[in-house]
Amino acid sequence: MKTAEIRRRFLDFFVRNDHTEVPSASLMHHDPTLLFVNAGMVPFKPYFIGAEDAPYARATSVQKCVRTLDIEEVGKTTRHGTFFQMNGNFSFGDYFKEEAIAYAWEFSTGAVEDGNLGFDPERIWVTVLDGDEEAEAYWKSVGMPADRIQHRGLADNYWNMGVPGPGGPCSEIYFDRGPEYGPDGGPEADEDRFLEFWNLVFMQEELATVRSKTDFDVARPLPRPNIDTGMGLERVAYLMQGKQNMYEIDQVFPVISRAAELSGREYGADATSDVRLRVVADHVRSGMMLINDGVTPGNEGRGYVLRRLLRRAVRAMRLLGVTDPVLPELFPLSRDVMADSYTEIAEQWQRISDVAYAEEDAFRRTLEAGTQIFDVAVSDAKKSQASVLPGAQAFQLHDTYGFPIDLTMEMAAEHGLKVDRDEFSRLMTEQRERAKADAKAKKGGATNVEAYRELRHGGESTFIGYTELETDARVLGIVDAGSSVPAASAGSVVEIVLDTTPFYAESGGQDADRGTITAPGLELKIVDVQSPVQGLIVHRVEVVSGEVTVDQQVHARVDADHRAGACRAHSATHIVHAVLRETVGPTAVQSGSYNKPGYLRFDFQSTHGLDADQRAEIEGRSNEAITADHEVTSQTLPLNEAREMGAMAMFGEKYPDMVRMVEMNGPWSRELCGGTHVRHSSQIGLLTLLNEQSIGSGVRRVEAFVSTDAFRHLAAERALVSNLSGMLKVQPDQLTERVGKLVADLKDAEKQLAAHRSKEILGNAAGLVESAQDRGGVAVVAQHVAGVGGGDLRQLAQEIRGRLGDRPGVVALVGGTDEKPAVVVATTTGARERGLRAGALVKDACAALGGRGGGKDDLAQGGGSDSTGIDKALASVEAAVDAA
């Protein structure tokens, strides 16, 4: 049974049992505690913790997940994979243990022809929490014999989020794979033979504190117990398909097969090669799914994870002997097997492939740079007659250049060296601990929403800002430093919640409104407006005068000019998006935006920058759309209907079932958007592009001024042109030609000056050669040549070395400036035969200057910051010659 069919059967089963089918959330789900969605319940977390009201009593989903904590273990076991899919069914205060167990049993063991999986009931085992007699009784009621129900402790069979919130016992379902996989005795005896494939969580308690997985305090029973289950789709697939592990299922193995073919290896013949092939297959699929959800390679956060996955895949293929580009061979295979479940992959394929292939090209260049660093490390080790490469250097190669430890170890072995794996592991552990501490800090910070939740339980904030800019309102609550307070007086900065508000909360890239909240004797200045909990609009205010109290009647007024400016900028952002898709193509998908009165920036996915003609075309088309006076309309409609109409949506953005769609010139610009807009495009006035640049691998950014800010910018440029024309005494249309001639003349003058300087410097070479000292048969020129730096210093050192002829010689020159002294060391063949290496000599010289240096045996250079050490630097070279 194919993986896609298992997925469909699961969803259909629960839909037949009155569950709402919920599409998978993006892997970039908006949860401040997570880098990626790592469990099926994550999109439903706000409902479980009470931050939002669930829109349905029952739900089912197949959620895309990524876990990267054990990335180094991928391919080594059947349990570690970065991307996986979690089937789940959920109840929000509806059914509980009895029904959850009955559903799981029926779907697992029911007949295949009835839409179930058809597992042999005799091979099913379950575990329950010690003391959960209720769950045990329900299992017995569906036919599970008592001798295949095992009781386990909190560590195995109790679930919580690691922070205060809901928790409860769980019941895990296992499949007996047979005696060839391990000893008998159920999950307690062996979890390789008895493989867990479904976990039923019974959320029934609210935890007050959580010190560890097994140490926590229960505050009270939940008023409405919930169900959260997770069935590993890949695990079920390899059980149903008779495979050994998740890498051999139909959605993964085609990549292994092709990678084996490219490398000339046979899968299953060699354990080391098999691990590498599994790494390739896992990371190709994971990378493709991350790019599909809008992640682009980068040096931090989500982008770094994607970059690491793609580069590990390429590195694994190199270790298998394949040095040609591999992702164009492997990505299409993963696309073809995943498209049955995720049709958007085919729709986004051009963008996905562009990002992946560009990253491989970039890594191939980086690999060359890293190899050079590796070669220097090997050379240093051999000079010191060491047999072990320091772990710190291996870690630098891993952390800076993306070299995995196995690649470094293999390359070191080719030079007869080992790697200090213990030191490398220690540094890796320290890095992981820092990451865990950071994640824990973020998790703890994300729980401080209790005051907002309490206010939200009193009802939603009604937003009327689409049509009204001021209104009378009542103060529902005041929050100060995370706690509800009854009042706030002049001079304080607090958060205010109103029953009705015209103020737009920052979202969708649009800056928050500004304005005032007033009452007799009271003035509050709006500092910011946010929506920390769905349905609740929170106004951060400075109490200018008076005292504000809960239940007070006030008058809220939006700054009309600020709002109008925000509307113009936001509508201009939609225009730029539409024009970019026309100019660059449909792969120019939005990656982010920000707009405020007079200014916008728009990030889009593209592996190529915009040339001058494209920038001019984008600016021109945008202004044509503005002057065309397109009507800007909005409507509220079901999410699926909006998507069918082609409405653009942000990757990773969470949308409700009913959405607001903003249109400009009909389908030309059709986006899901909750922001405020002009009524006609002509109200924007004018747009001028400021610049276009890369902000990360595969992501570009354009910035623009809008309306009067655009006019002021153009007026300033006009004044600049006028001033330059006056200075150069030419007409504006002749300015480019005149400046070009000046630049050409300047370059010619610089060349002549450089030639003169070079001649002068080289003219000093003869005198410096005459200053050479004979130190044990080696001619040494060690001099301070003030003011000579860069290429001139290097050229002078080479000239002197050439004039020394065939005799052993060392040239050490210190030049540069007092602030940044520079060093160049050059050696002749005769000197090198005596063991005098320029790279080693320059390191000692630079150390005396408080800096570093390096290079080859015949020529090396470096610098420092302490010019008082110049004499010491030159003396160090002379001493080294004396000791040779």
Per-domain residue ranges for the chain?
3-247, 251-369, 386-446, 450-551, 563-713, 768-883
DSSP-derived secondary structure for 392-422: HHHHHHHHHH---HHHHHHHHHHTT-EE-HH
- For position 443, what pLDDT does the model report? 40
Partners of 329 in the β-ladder: none
Q: Which fold has domain 768-883?
A: Diaminopimelate Epimerase; Chain A, domain 1 (3.10.310)
- Tens-digit pLDDT profile for residues 347-401: 889 989 999 998 898 888 777 767 777 888 888 888 888 889 888 888 888 776 6
Query: At 475, is the secondary structure helix, strand, or coil?
Result: strand
Owner of token pair 């991350």: 290
Q: Which fold has domain 3-247?
A: BirA Bifunctional Protein; domain 2 (3.30.930)
673 is in an annotated binding site: yes
Give backbone dihedrals phi and psi of 768, rounded to 5 degrees, phi first: -70, -35
Distance CA 354, CA 607 (A): 7
- Tens-digit pLDDT profile for residues 115-136: 999 999 999 999 999 999 999 9
Q: What is the mean pLDDT of residues 623-635?
A: 96
- Tens-digit pLDDT profile for residues 419-459: 999 998 898 888 777 665 654 443 433 334 667 877 887 77
677 is in an annotated binding site: yes
Q: Which fold has domain 450-551?
A: Elongation Factor Tu (Ef-tu); domain 3 (2.40.30)
**Is the separation of the CB atoms in 661 and 643 below 8 Å?**
no
pTM of the shown model: 0.65
**Is the separation of the CB atoms in 494 and 539 below 8 Å?**
no
170 is in an annotated binding site: no
- Tens-digit pLDDT profile for residues 480-531: 988 889 999 999 999 999 999 999 999 888 999 999 999 999 999 999 999 9
- Tens-digit pLDDT profile for residues 823-863: 999 999 999 999 999 999 999 999 999 898 888 999 999 99
Query: Is the pLDDT confidence value at 790 over 80?
Result: no
**Range with the largest mean pLDDT of 65-74, 75-84, 227-236, 760-769:** 227-236
398 is in an annotated binding site: no
114-118, 761-765, 797-801: segment of lowest average pLDDT: 761-765
Looking at every residue in the chain, the average pLDDT score rounds to 90
CA count, 13 A, side-chain hemisphere, 489? 0
The answer for residues whose C-beta is within 8 angstroms of residue 489's C-beta and 6 or more apart is 543, 546, 547
- Tens-digit pLDDT profile for residues 227-273: 999 999 999 999 999 998 899 999 999 999 999 999 999 999 999 99
Long-range contacts of 145-152 (CB under 8 A, 24+ apart): 148/124, 148/186, 149/125, 150/125, 150/126, 150/186, 150/187, 150/188, 151/127, 152/127, 152/128, 152/187, 152/188
Long-range contacts of 632-636 (CB under 8 A, 24+ apart): 632/571, 632/662, 632/663, 632/664, 632/677, 632/678, 632/679, 632/680, 632/681, 633/662, 633/663, 634/466, 634/660, 634/661, 634/662, 634/663, 634/673, 634/677, 635/660, 635/661, 635/663, 636/660, 636/661
Q: What is the mean pLDDT of residues 11-20?
A: 96
CA quadruple 858, 862, 867, 869: dihedral sign: negative
% of the chain exceeding 90 in pLDDT: 63
Distance CA 40, CA 14 (A): 15
DSSP-derived secondary structure for 510-540: BPPP-EEEEETTEEEEEEEEEEEETTEEEEE
Is CATH 3.30.980.10 the right assignment for the domain spanning 563-713? Answer: yes
Q: Where does the pLDDT of residue 596 fall: very low under 50, low under 70, confident under 90, or very high at 90 and above?
A: very high
**Is the separation of the CB atoms in 872 and 812 below 8 Å?**
no
